[in-house]
Structure 1
Amino acid sequence: MAPAHKAIVFTDFDGTITLKDSNDYLTDNIGYGPEKRREGNIDILENRVKFRDAFKEMLDSVKKPFPECIEILRKNIKLDPGFKDFYDWCLSEKIPVIVLSSGMEPIIRALLTDLVGPHADQIKIVSNQPKFLDPEGNEWTVEYHDDSDFGHDKSLAIKPTANLPKEDRPVLFYCGDGVSDLSAARETDLLFAKYGHDLITYCEREGAPFTVFKTFEDIHRDIKDIMENKTTIDEVASRHQRAKDAAKAAE
């Protein structure tokens, strides 16, 4: 029996599908600012604090009503220039795209609808939620998806498919940019890690295989070539290391 889908693309949302992270944007412009946020990111990378604790502290510093936060983000968050064409191709190829996010579902859904269009409602979202502390949403905090150190262990959404028998299992891809993406990436066949972001640092330190992307145009090209048997997952996964080795040899 053939798999229900030939491939599934799991992807982070903030800073991956979008050019800016919506949670970072709120923290930097309304919350306690970029310096303190970056300090928290470094503490996470160095395993001094749990992601869930630092992330909640970030969002709790944002003192504006939740509906107002959504409107601010709708005016300021832009889509990766290659994502819409990639998503349209996935629809035509019947390849599901599933968002796994540490962000909050109402924000993600609003931004996807604005940036991708009505057919964005076919994108499944597995994420955290806002917890409203009053009926109007003037005061709110993040309500985590699970009890993990990340608040949302993204790997949990992938494992049921990853553990299928080989004949029933689609090819699994993951696209991300941050430390919270690593557990999910380990359950898939190929990780696309965004150039210049913390996930690359973490993968190199942990010895986790990956390839680098700058925009979804890179992801679109590579996944299309893999699915059309023009290249292999191993060839794509080894590209970053080959480039590093070549640069070192040229020194």
Structure 2
Amino acid sequence: MWPNTDNLGFGRAEREKMNEEMISERLNFREAFTLMLESVHHPFSECIDLLKAKIPLDPGFKDFYTWCKSQGIPVIVVSSGMMPIIKALLENYLNDPSTAEELEIYANDTVFSEDGSWTIKWRHPESGFGHDKSITIKKYIKDAAYPEGQRPHFFYCGDGVSDLSAARETDLLFAKKGKDLVTYCEREGVPYTTFEDFQDIWNGVRDVVEGKKTIEEVRQIRK
């Protein structure tokens, strides 16, 4: 959603200032993101069109997803964005509505008013994250009810302040090199490995799944 606030809302400088406030925990994500969205006064469809034009999908994602399907590995989207936008972007990126539709997505929703205005509907309005990804991940694992000793490894990739709530909840965290999530992990002592694109993620996941490396060995490859 950042390009909306960078191009249609209060601008990149203010957004980056808020990111710093969130990293320092002086402002929570729900409060900051609400302010960002309130600064956007454009039709929802126009926002989606701008996002399609401004946000490129990592070219390695589609091949990574195809490989995961071939291995029976679920790929789940856990997002602090809004469901209609995520679905529209995935359909646009993948150029395949059926593939986009089969992805399991956990996100916030959108409320539309009769006058055409819109606002975010938080998945966890009681949480400072709005969508507390730790709750979503824990519930997913609990609902899966894996037999004793048969729980698979869980991997998570993210880059920014919206991923802080998920940082401690999986076995291997991939944090985008040079982004806010790395800053947070370094400060809080959260184990992670960096990635630059989905090829890095694919390599790490494949090495663990195929038994070539342990999770700790993958963590040590990129820091």
TM-score (norm 2): 0.92
Instruction: Answer yes or no: is 1:225 the counterpart of 2:207.
Output: yes
1:24-54 CA deviation, whole Å, 9 max, x = no partner?
1000100011111111111111111111001
Taking the aligned partners of 1:59 and 1:226, their CA distance within structure 2 comes to: 39
User: Residue in 2 aligned with 1:244?
Assistant: none
In the TM superposition, what is the alpha-carbon distance from 1:185 to its structure 2 partner? 2.9
How far did 1:221 drift? 1.0
**Deviation of 1:196 (Å):** 1.1
* Superposed counterparts of 1:63-78, under 5 Å: 63-78=41-56
- Structure 1 runs not aligned, ≥5 long: 1-22, 242-251
Structure 2 residues not aligned, in runs of 5+: none
Identity %: 53
What's the counterpart of residue 26 of structure 2? 48
| Corresponding residue to 2:190 among 187, 190, 208 | 208
Q: Is the 8 A contact 1:161 1:169 kept in 2?
A: no
Kindly provide the CA deviation profile for residues 99-145 of structure 1, in whole angstroms up to 9, marking residues without a partner as x.
1111001010011011112312111111111122325xx31111111
Q: What is the SS of the residue equivalent to 2:10? A: coil
Shift of 1:162: 4.2
- Amino acid aligned to 2:139: P
1:144-163 superposed matches below 5 A: 144-146=122-124, 147-162=126-141
Three-state SS of the structure 2 residue aligned to 1:238 is helix
CA RMSD, Structure 1 to Structure 2 (Å): 1.5
CA distance in 2, matches of 1:46, 1:75: 32
Matching residue of 1:176 = 158
Q: Deviations over 1:123-178 (max 9, x none)?
A: 1111111122325xx31111111121100001112113545554231110000011
CA-CA distance at 1:239 after TM superposition: 2.8
Residue aligned with 1:167, SS: coil
d(CA) in 1 for partners of 2:136 and 2:174?
18
Q: How many residues align?
A: 217
- Secondary structure in 2 aligned to 1:192? strand
Which of 1 and 2 has higher RCO (CA within 8 Å, sep 6+)? 1
Preserved contact between residue 19 and residue 161 of structure 2 (Cα < 8 Å): no
Which of 118, 131, 151 aligns to 2:111? It is 131
Q: How far off is 1:240 after superposition? A: 3.7
